[in-house]
Structure 1
Amino acid sequence: MAAVKQLAGQTLWYGMSNVAARLLNSLILPLLSYLLVSKAQMVQQGSVTLIYSYFALLNVIFTYGMETAYFRFCSRQKERQKDFFNTAFGSLLFSTIILCLLLYALRVPVERFVELEGHTEYISLTALILFFDTIQTIPFALLRQEQKPRKYAFIKVFGIVVNIIMVTFFVVILPKLANHYPDSIWSWLVNSFTVVSFVLIANLIQSIFVFLMLFNEWKQFTFKIDKTLWKKMFAYSSPMIIIGLAGMVNEVIDRQMLVKLIPNTKEYAMRIQAIYSQNYKLSIIITLFVTAFRMAAEPFFFSRSQDKNAPELYARVMKWFVITVCLAFLTTALFLDDVWKYYMGAPYRVGLFVVPILLIANVFSGIYYNLSIWYKITDRMRVGIYITLFGAAITFAGNYLFIPKYEMLASAWTTLICYASMVVVCYISGQKYYPVPYPIKRILTYLTVIISLYLLHKGIITYVFPDSNAVIRLASGVILFISFLFLVLRLERNELKAMPVIGKFLK
């Protein structure tokens, strides 16, 4: 239980930092959704979300799994951590310079491919952001490896504060200054740059500040790349390129396919993509926890992989992870119509119907990440490639076949089917190579209950009280949420008694 407490504590700190990190898209984009409400402005909002969907894919290519390789090798030979740091950081520094120069050189064909014609400056800014973001990877990994979640959290939060300030200045304050001083530099800036450019510039400023704050981590770098070591690390990490790309395909390719496959005007497709992306962000509570958990879990799982009781520990971690994301699902789904819809401007709320589907999809995504640790610690990355390619095939097929008719609904259901299928395949293959005694019945019980509670809530407010006000809807949500808490309390009472705060009340 002590190991689970340690993981929970680190997850809390990483969670705080990643709550802030997600604010880049999870608070700034809602701000933009209230400011960009006309059809033309929604197209700009769509451009922002489209660019960030490509960021996710490019980040996989630029980092090529070197972070995971760093954790894996440090867990096996802690005395060579300095060599691993120099090799990993030097590798990313060299490759990032080459890739950024290539992206800049090809900025004209790239802008056409991503449906952003006439805006090569977006590609140039993207290359600069990717440079600073990529070379931060190993310094941040060093903080995680040395178990310094507080410093990690502080730097992440600081970067986001800078980003929020800059976006607020560029998008809210600057236009007012331009109107008040029409012949000033403020007016020139507003007339020279689009909202998309300002958002990217703010992101670039954030990335530079964060890199400078990691000075104590990267200053120890010396350009002494051990070629033999690099070959071993790259041999381990290179499959992560395919795994990562396939994983990002499952996560973000639907935005890009919506723009390309909706049989209407480009402007209409971009607006639909903006609405879908904005509603996708309402799975924020689940995605924040999953991201925070991943930050803490990867070094944790590797460090415990040699323990004889590791499978039992992983099973316990999985159970409590599922309980947590189930609570996150209910927190969002039960209060969607009266709380979370205000997360976005009114024109974007027409897509609320996809949110519960995407919430469950993200629950399965988190479960899959827990399950996938088996092929990382057993060095069977090829199996991981097959599973993620299987998921990517579902994503491509589902979106390609059904977007033309069902638009964003097709993307939502495809995402759910993809992650659920990957969970099943990963569990079956994992039990063959690295058996873990997961409490399957208990996990399925929790998943079934949260879906049933949500459907019950919709039935109550739709059929029992069809003209209900916000008080009745909120009361229904609170009662059903508490019902799930009592279920967890009843089923997990013995383990809860051992916890430091809750246990005092249960005893």
Structure 2
Amino acid sequence: MSEIKKLAGQTLWYGVPTIVSRFLGYLMNMALPFLFLQPAKTADITQVYAIIPFLNVLFTYGMETAYFRFSQEKDKQHLYNTLSVSLFVTTIIFTLALWLNRGVLAEAASLTEHPEYITLMCGIILFDTLATLPFARLRQESRPRRYAFVRVAGIIVNLLIVFFFLGFLPGYVEQNPESPVRLILNLDIGIGWYLIGNLLGSIATFLLLIPELRSVRWEFDTALWKEVMKYSYPLIIVGLGGMINDMLSRLVYQHVVDLPAEEAKHQLGIFANIYRLAVLVTIMIQAFRMAAEPFFFNQSKQEGAQRSYARVMKFFVIACCFMFLMIGLYLDLLKWIITLKSEAWGEAMYIVPILAMGNIFLGIYYNLSIWYKLTGKNLYGAYITIGGAILTIILNIILIPKLQYLGAALATFSCYLLMMVASYVSGQKFYPVPYATKKLVSYLALVTIILLVHRGILYFYNPLWFSILTGSILLLAFLLFVARVEKKELASFGAFGQWAGRVIG
């Protein structure tokens, strides 16, 4: 239990910057309907942010996970030096190649009206990649507070830039038309400030990581590098496949949907904003991953490691179930907020629970995937991800033209379901872990039924106050149910767990 408590504590600390990042990003997304009444105006920025994750995988080529893996058996400083030198050299080369081909990329991504977006993207990728190993070292050394501080600082810089130039400055210039700062607005950067804020936030993060970067010594062990690359190259395939599964719908939506160009941009802007409303689930997944990956590697040589992994999975699924209900049961409240200025932004809210459950499947898959990382069978991870990517491509091409928003959501849901099941089946064959499978499936089924019951009630009577009240009652009922079922587990969590056990009887 002490290991579980440690993981929970580190998840909280890694979750702080993740929650802040996602929440601030959520605020910026929530601001889009107030800053831009037409969703189509946000389509170009959606394209850029659909490209960046693919480039992140290529630029980092599995170095982060490889560092966790080899730090268990190699000299940590020597490993850190070799991987840092490799990443620095390739980042410079890749960024230069990307910048030289920015015109071709802008045309391929339908960004010819804003080629400067590609230049800004090059800068973001450059600084984010150089920060990869310093952040990995902080995680491997269990320094979540330092990690949280640097992450949050970069996020705050990003936020201040965006809200100053898009939120404060237009109103100030309107009240002070003779102010020289009006020249900034005359540049007509618009939503491009999102990218500028991101770039400046990435630079701030990089500068704050200078103490970690200064510890790098210019040495390169070719034999060690080859050994690391043999381990990590399948992770590139896994990463690219994962990005196809996660980002492809937004990347191709306006190209495959059977609509005029302007309407396609309109729908892409809405779909991208709707997709991010699953933010609470993705917060949980991302925060957990930050803490869990080094934890799993460090725990792998301990007696009873598989039992620890099974318990971690149970707590993870329970937490995700609560996140799912918080999104689904308060969906009407979310819709009311984002449609205050324009009803158009409320389209497709019905697909949010589908995307949220799909992301829970993805989180479970991340838990399950530890088996091939621990056993060195990374190619199996590549096969599973490629299978998911193929399914994603096929379903997006078939379903989006017919079902539009719903088609994209079903493609994501189906892909992550397939990957989760495939990883569970193969993992139990090569690295069996005693997961409480029936209980976890029951929890997932139960929250789905609860959500359907809530929507069924609202079919007959649906004022906002009633939706919030009934949603809260159902959420509380699930909380009490889980607390009663997991009463013994709660008792092992010290004073709080014992108090909770007495409350539920």
With the shorter chain as reference, the TM-score category is: over 0.9
1:33 and 1:45 in contact (8 A); partners too: no
CA shift for structure 1 position 277: 0.9
1:23 and 1:160 in contact (8 A); partners too: no
2:15 and 2:288 in contact (8 A); partners too: yes
CA shift for structure 1 position 215: 1.4
Match in the other structure for 2:155? 160
Letter in 2 for 1:480: L
User: What RMSD in Å do the two structures reach over aligned CA positions?
Assistant: 1.5
CA shift for structure 1 position 388: 0.1
CA shift for structure 1 position 184: 5.8
- Within 5 Å, which residues of 2 pair with 1:112-151? 112-151=107-146
Match in the other structure for 1:478? 472
Letter in 2 for 1:479: I
CA shift for structure 1 position 87: 1.3
Match in the other structure for 1:500? 494
2:41 is equivalent to residue 44 of structure 1: yes
Match in the other structure for 2:482? 488
* CA deviation profile, 1:281-335 (whole Å, cap 9, x unmatched): 1111110010000000000000111123111110110011000000110111011
Distance 1:473 1:33 in 2: 23
Letter in 2 for 1:89: S
1:159 and 1:206 in contact (8 A); partners too: yes
- Within 5 Å, which residues of 2 pair with 1:292-311? 292-311=287-306
Query: What TM-score, normalized to structure 1?
Result: 0.95
2:351 is equivalent to residue 354 of structure 1: yes
2:397 is equivalent to residue 403 of structure 1: no
State the aligned residue count. Answer: 499
1:391 and 1:421 in contact (8 A); partners too: yes
Distance 2:488 2:25 in 1: 40
2:54 is equivalent to residue 57 of structure 1: yes
Residues 341 and 7 of structure 1: CA distance in aligned 2, closer, same or farther (over 3 Å): farther
2:60 is equivalent to residue 66 of structure 1: no
Match in the other structure for 1:430? 427
Q: 2:223 aligns with which of 224, 228, 232?
A: 228
CA shift for structure 1 position 194: 2.2
Q: 1:265 aligns with which of 256, 260, 266?
A: 260
Distance 2:336 2:424 in 1: 35
**DSSP-derived class of the 1:27 partner:** helix
- Within 5 Å, which residues of 2 pair with 1:233-244? 233-244=228-239
**DSSP-derived class of the 1:264 partner:** coil
Q: Where in structure 1 are there 5+ consecutive unaligned residues?
A: none
2:54 and 2:243 in contact (8 A); partners too: yes
Letter in 1 for 2:311: R
* CA deviation profile, 1:148-201 (whole Å, cap 9, x unmatched): 111111111111111111001111233334445656653332232422322111
Q: Where in structure 2 are there 5+ consecutive unaligned residues?
A: none
* CA deviation profile, 1:27-74 (whole Å, cap 9, x unmatched): 212212211013xxx223111122111111111111111000000011
Distance 1:193 1:208 in 2: 23
Distance 2:4 2:360 in 1: 20
Query: What TM-score, normalized to structure 2?
Result: 0.96
2:338 and 2:346 in contact (8 A); partners too: no
2:438 is equivalent to residue 441 of structure 1: yes
2:380 is equivalent to residue 383 of structure 1: yes
2:458 and 2:467 in contact (8 A); partners too: yes
**DSSP-derived class of the 1:116 partner:** coil
Distance 1:195 1:297 in 2: 39
Letter in 2 for 1:76: E
1:175 and 1:186 in contact (8 A); partners too: no
**DSSP-derived class of the 1:308 partner:** coil
Residues 180 and 476 of structure 1: CA distance in aligned 2, closer, same or farther (over 3 Å): closer
2:15 and 2:286 in contact (8 A); partners too: yes
Letter in 1 for 2:490: L
Q: 1:279 aligns with which of 274, 285, 298?
A: 274
1:178 and 1:187 in contact (8 A); partners too: yes
CA shift for structure 1 position 340: 5.7
Match in the other structure for 2:307? 312
1:391 and 1:422 in contact (8 A); partners too: yes
Residues 329 and 190 of structure 1: CA distance in aligned 2, closer, same or farther (over 3 Å): same
2:243 is equivalent to residue 251 of structure 1: no
- Within 5 Å, which residues of 2 pair with 1:146-225? 146-179=141-174, 185-225=180-220
Match in the other structure for 1:393? 390
Letter in 2 for 1:470: L
Letter in 2 for 1:356: P
Residues 220 and 403 of structure 1: CA distance in aligned 2, closer, same or farther (over 3 Å): same
Distance 1:441 1:371 in 2: 16
User: Which region of structure 1 is more displaced relative to structure 2, 480-489 or 108-117?
Assistant: 480-489
CA shift for structure 1 position 21: 2.2
Distance 1:455 1:478 in 2: 15
Letter in 2 for 1:216: P
CA shift for structure 1 position 280: 0.9
Letter in 2 for 1:441: K
Letter in 2 for 1:9: G
Letter in 2 for 1:319: K
Distance 2:187 2:249 in 1: 31
Distance 1:381 1:342 in 2: 44
**DSSP-derived class of the 1:76 partner:** coil
**DSSP-derived class of the 2:112 partner:** coil
Distance 1:163 1:397 in 2: 36
Match in the other structure for 1:12? 12
1:358 and 1:412 in contact (8 A); partners too: yes
Query: Taking every aligned residue pair, what percent have the same amino acid on both sides?
Result: 40
Distance 2:32 2:467 in 1: 28
User: Which region of structure 1 is more displaced relative to structure 2, 362-371 or 83-92?
Assistant: 83-92
Match in the other structure for 1:367? 364
Match in the other structure for 2:317? 322
2:338 and 2:345 in contact (8 A); partners too: no
Residues 233 and 471 of structure 1: CA distance in aligned 2, closer, same or farther (over 3 Å): same
2:103 is equivalent to residue 108 of structure 1: yes
2:48 and 2:118 in contact (8 A); partners too: no
1:44 and 1:195 in contact (8 A); partners too: no
Residues 501 and 154 of structure 1: CA distance in aligned 2, closer, same or farther (over 3 Å): farther
Distance 2:147 2:338 in 1: 27
2:358 and 2:412 in contact (8 A); partners too: yes
CA shift for structure 1 position 341: 4.4
**DSSP-derived class of the 1:354 partner:** helix
